[in-house]
């Protein structure tokens, strides 16, 4: 069975982009893969966090994994900082990475843009992500498009180590959704939907109230030609809404274009509000049930134990191959 690994940062409310780009894949893959899903709290501290809020967000993401349908009987669910191998392998891989390739990462450039000085962790962030993946001999990494460059770096590091030392790592592949791999901000369809954007109507969080969902969708930026058609270049707003509609309803984009021929954006948006609200309602309900349960903590503790068993074996091989220790 092929092994799958992925992670989400506990840095705020998980939104439709996270769900449609990555989390939906988590559920699909658990049926016939050995899946490991992590809450990457060590990545979150690359920028300063409020410790109390971070702890809450860790449990929020864990509960959301379960609420969207990740099944702890089929998949390992755990928190990154509970398995020491991540930080250890992160350091070792830092010694194999070149600063040049890290400075070239587009996410680093975006996050450091215009700042005189940023934390070193922001630069080496993708190396820790590579460590997450390589620690579990991962074959497949389900993520959104924005992580493509990080997956490439992970592959480069794995190949570099395998060539320099003995064969040490499995070289993983990214897995991206056809539709949903890059959900754009509702208020500005030229930038991706993100947890940190200031305007809350730029995103729909999985736990948003129906009234907030309605407001965000009805306010979403479209264009002035009034035609419901998928055209990324000329109609990025409408195309983004069509992608969301299509993935959540299971209807193809072509079918939706036919269904809304001759209709206006108002009708289309009203129907999308219903589709999104109905898709998110059961997630919210399940989240409320599990978020403060004892079961959630037990699942995470059990997950960390199981993840650590795999990680320890990899770390022994890594130390041996690198000549570390006695």
Q: Does 127 bind ligand TYM (CB under 6 A)?
A: no
- Give least dist CB 266 to ligand TYM, A: 25
Catalytic residue flag (residue 195): yes
Q: Site map for ligand TYM, 240-279, x if CB under 6 A?
A: ----------------------------------------
Closest residue to ligand TYM using C-beta atoms? 21
> CA triplet 29, 309, 43: central angle to 5 degrees?
65
Q: Does 284 bind ligand TYM (CB under 6 A)?
A: no
Q: Site map for ligand TYM, 25-44, x if CB under 6 A?
A: ---------------x--x-
Instruction: Give the residue, chosen from 4, 22, 158, 310, that forms a contact with ligand TYM under the rule CB under 6 A.
Output: 22
Instruction: Give the residue, chosen from 85, 90, 144, 189, that forms a contact with ligand TYM under the rule CB under 6 A.
Output: 144
User: In the structure, how many helices (H) and strands (E) does the chain have?
Assistant: 14, 5
Catalytic residue flag (residue 313): no
Task: Write down the catalytic residue from 2, 74, 148, 195.
Answer: 195
In the numeric block, which tokens belong to residue 55?
Answer: 């702890």
Q: Does 141 bind ligand TYM (CB under 6 A)?
A: yes
Catalytic residue flag (residue 52): no
Torsion angle of C-alpha atoms 306, 311, 314, 319, degrees rounded to 10: -140
- The size of the interface with ligand TYM (CB under 6 A), counted in residues, is 25
Residue 180: count of CB within 10 angstroms of its CB: 22
Nearest residue (CB) to ligand TYM, 151 versus 260: 151
Please answer whether residues 92 and 322 qualify as being in contact, where contact means their C-beta atoms are separated by less than 8 angstroms.
yes
Q: Based on C-alpha coordinates, what's the Rg of the chain? A: 21
Among residues 6, 3, 75, the alpha carbon closest in space to that of 40 is found at 6
> CA triplet 127, 132, 135: central angle to 5 degrees?
110
- Give least dist CB 152 to ligand TYM, A: 13
Among residues 287, 236, 240, 285, the alpha carbon closest in space to that of 66 is found at 287
Q: Does 17 bind ligand TYM (CB under 6 A)?
A: yes
Which residues belong to the active site? 111, 192, 195
């Amino acid at each position: 069975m092929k092994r799958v690994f992925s992670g989400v940062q506990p840095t705020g409310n998980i939104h439709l982009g996270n769900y449609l780009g990555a989390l939906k894949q988590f559920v699909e893959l658990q049926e016939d893969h050995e899946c490991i899903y992590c809450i990457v709290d060590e990545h979150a501290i690359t920028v300063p966090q409020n410790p109390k809020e971070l702890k809450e967000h860790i449990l929020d993401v864990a509960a959301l994994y379960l609420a969207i349908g990740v099944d702890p009987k089929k998949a390992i669910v755990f928190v990154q900082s509970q398995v020491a191998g991540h930080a250890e392998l992160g350091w070792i891989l830092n010694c194999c990475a070149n600063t040049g390739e890290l400075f070239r990462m587009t996410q680093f450039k975006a996050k450091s843009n215009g700042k005189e000085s940023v934390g070193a962790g922001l630069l080496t962030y993708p190396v820790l992500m590579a460590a997450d993946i390589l620690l579990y001999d991962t074959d497949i990494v389900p993520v959104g498009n924005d992580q493509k460059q990080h997956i490439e770096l992970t592959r480069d590091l794995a190949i570099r180590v395998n060539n320099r030392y003995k064969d040490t790592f499995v070289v993983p592949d990214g897995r991206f959704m056809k539709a949903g791999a890059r959900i754009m901000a509702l208020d500005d369809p030229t930038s991706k939907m993100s947890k940190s954007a200031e305007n809350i109507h730029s995103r729909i969080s999985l736990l948003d109230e129906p009234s907030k969902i309605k407001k965000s969708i009805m306010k979403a930026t479209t264009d002035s030609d009034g035609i419901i058609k998928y055209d990324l270049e000329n109609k990025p707003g409408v195309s983004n809404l069509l992608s969301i509609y299509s993935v959540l309803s299971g209807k193809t984009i072509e079918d939706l274009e036919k269904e809304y021929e001759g209709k206006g954006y108002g009708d289309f948006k009203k129907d999308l509000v219903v589709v999104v609200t109905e898709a998110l309602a059961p997630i919210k309900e399940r989240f409320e049930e599990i978020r403060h349960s004892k079961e959630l903590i037990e699942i995470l503790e059990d997950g960390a134990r199981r993840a650590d068993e795999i990680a320890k074996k990899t770390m022994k091989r890594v130390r041996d191959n690198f000549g570390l220790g006695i």
